[in-house]
């Protein structure tokens, strides 16, 4: 049986990516009893990113190296990092929270910072995993600059895909925009911008069957016509996938305010509609999702938690 003293904290941080590690670092600086729960190695999507060139202080750094530095920094301020697969966040009648992990351990705290991010929807085709970080990407802002003067492809037909295709033309010589239908789902204004861009070539009624390349990286896509059924190859050195993103907001086991896609709505202190539950990083409604925005969210959330706990104690003693 687990000792309750080992699972009682001031704040529980769920998720060990940049936002979670930053929140843990600030919680430590604030002398809070905090625990960070992460199902795997800390770092989140940093571990899947080969090179980062848009994080202040590092002109260029490998994703895993930045993850290691962030983890070391959090630990230097006393971060208690535990490998746990969180199954749910439940609010108790007294307003505190219990966070249940898969091994039967239940953590307790008056506050939670949810930084579990989410996952881009993948195509699930051969070669996609093999060339991830070597031509296959899910973030144009992160990786677009690596494809200067090259021919690349964007897969998708919604706002994100079309906007990112337009953005990528500032680097690439040519961008194929591959969509499985004969009309885009993106808003009219975004579509018009893409249609007017001479670097974008629409590839209608087409789906990707396979991603191919060499040890050096991706060099072609095998695609199929969804109407006629014929196959052909497209020579590209990069493939950006924008067919959806699933935020890990389902861990919250009660009603909370969110948008149509499931992203969590917070106030300016990163608190959700559930008092005491804060959110930071990619699962929160915001304009852009970058490492810098994730750590900014987490800084605000951790400091807001300190104030929330102070006010909660004052009310309890009144």
Identify the helix (H) or strand (E) that includes residue 106: strand 106-109
| Helices of type H across the chain | 18-29, 63-76, 140-143, 159-168, 188-195, 291-317
Choose the catalytic residue: 22, 142, 166, 297: 142
Quote the radius of gyration of the chain (alpha carbons, Å).
22
**Residues β-bridged to residue 37:** 14, 82
- Strand arrangement, sheet containing 277-279: 80-83, 34-38, 11-14, 111-114, 277-279
Q: How far lies 255's CA from each of 43, 89, 106, 280, in Å?
A: 29, 11, 21, 18
**Following DSSP, what letter does each residue of 9-62 receive, concatenated?**
-SEEEE--SHHHHHHHHHHHHTT--EEEEESSSTTGGGGG-SEE--BTTBSSEE
Choose the catalytic residue: 22, 143, 166, 282: 143
Told to judge if 22 belongs to the known catalytic residues of this protein, a careful annotator would answer no
What's the DSSP call for residue 248? Answer: S
Residue 264 and residue 278: Cα distance in Å, rounded? 10
Choose the catalytic residue: 65, 80, 139, 159: 139
Q: Looking only at Cα atoms, what is the longest distance across the chain?
A: 74
Angle between helix 159-168 and 188-195 (nearest 10) = 30
**What would the two tokens of residue 237 be?**
């050195």
Told to judge if 139 belongs to the known catalytic residues of this protein, a careful annotator would answer yes
Positions marked active-site:
139, 142-143
């Amino acid at each position: 049986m687990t000792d309750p003293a080992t699972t009682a904290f001031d704040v529980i941080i769920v998720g060990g990516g940049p936002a979670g590690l930053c929140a843990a670092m600030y919680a430590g600086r604030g002398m809070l009893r905090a625990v960070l729960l992460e199902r795997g190695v800390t770092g989140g999507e940093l571990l899947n990113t080969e090179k980062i060139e848009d994080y202040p202080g590092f002109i260029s750094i490998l994703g895993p190296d930045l993850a290691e530095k962030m983890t070391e920094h959090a630990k230097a301020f006393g971060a208690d990092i535990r490998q746990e697969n969180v199954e749910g966040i439940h609010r108790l009648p007294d307003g505190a929270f219990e966070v249940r992990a898969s091994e039967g351990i239940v953590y307790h705290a008056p506050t939670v910072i949810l930084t579990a991010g989410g996952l881009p929807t993948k195509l699930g085709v051969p070669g996609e995993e093999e060339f991830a970080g070597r031509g296959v990407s899910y973030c144009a802002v992160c990786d677009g600059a690596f494809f200067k003067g090259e021919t690349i492809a964007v897969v998708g037909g919604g706002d994100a895909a079309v906007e990112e295709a337009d953005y990528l033309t500032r680097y690439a010589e040519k961008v194929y925009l591959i969509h499985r239908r004969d009309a885009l789902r993106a808003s009219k204004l975004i579509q018009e911008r893409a249609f007017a861009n001479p670097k974008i070539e629409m590839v209608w009624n087409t789906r990707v069957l396979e991603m191919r390349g060499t040890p050096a990286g991706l060099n072609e896509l095998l695609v199929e016509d969804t109407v006629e059924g014929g196959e052909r190859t497209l020579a590209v050195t990069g493939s950006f996938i924008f067919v959806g993103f699933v935020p890990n907001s389902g861990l919250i086991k009660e009603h909370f305010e969110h948008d149509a896609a499931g992203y969590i709505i917070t106030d300016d202190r990163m608190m959700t509609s559930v008092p005491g539950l804060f959110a930071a990083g990619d699962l929160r409604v915001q304009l852009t999702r970058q490492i810098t925005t994730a750590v900014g969210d987490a800084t605000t959330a951790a400091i807001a938690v300190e104030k929330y706990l102070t006010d909660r104690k004052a009310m309890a003693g009144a």
